[in-house]
Amino acid sequence: MADNRKTFVVLMGAPGAGKGTQAKILQEVLGLPQVATGDLFRENLKNETELGKLAKTYMDKGQLVPDEVTVAMVRDRLSRPDCVSGAILDGFPRTPAQAIALNKLLEEFNGHINIVPFINVNQEVLITRLQKRSEIEGRADDNAETILTRMKVYREQTAPLLNYFQERELLVEIDGDRSVEVVSAELQDVIRQAS
CA 84/CA 33 separation, integer angstroms? 10
Phi-psi region of 134 (alpha: psi -120 to 50; beta: other; left: phi over 0): alpha
**What are the residues whose beta carbons fall under 8 Å from the beta carbon of 59, sequence distance 6 or more?**
41, 65, 141
Which residues are known to be catalytic? 19, 94, 133, 139, 150
CA 19/CA 117 separation, integer angstroms? 10
Kindly list the strands in the beta sheet with 7-11, ordered across the sheet, starting from the edge strand earlier in the chain. 34-36, 86-90, 7-11, 113-120, 171-175
3-state secondary structure of 64: coil
**What are the residues whose beta carbons fall under 8 Å from the beta carbon of 85, sequence distance 6 or more?**
1, 4, 6, 7, 31, 32
Residue whose C-alpha is closest to residue 73's, from 30, 38, 119: 38
The one-letter amino acid code at 80 reads R
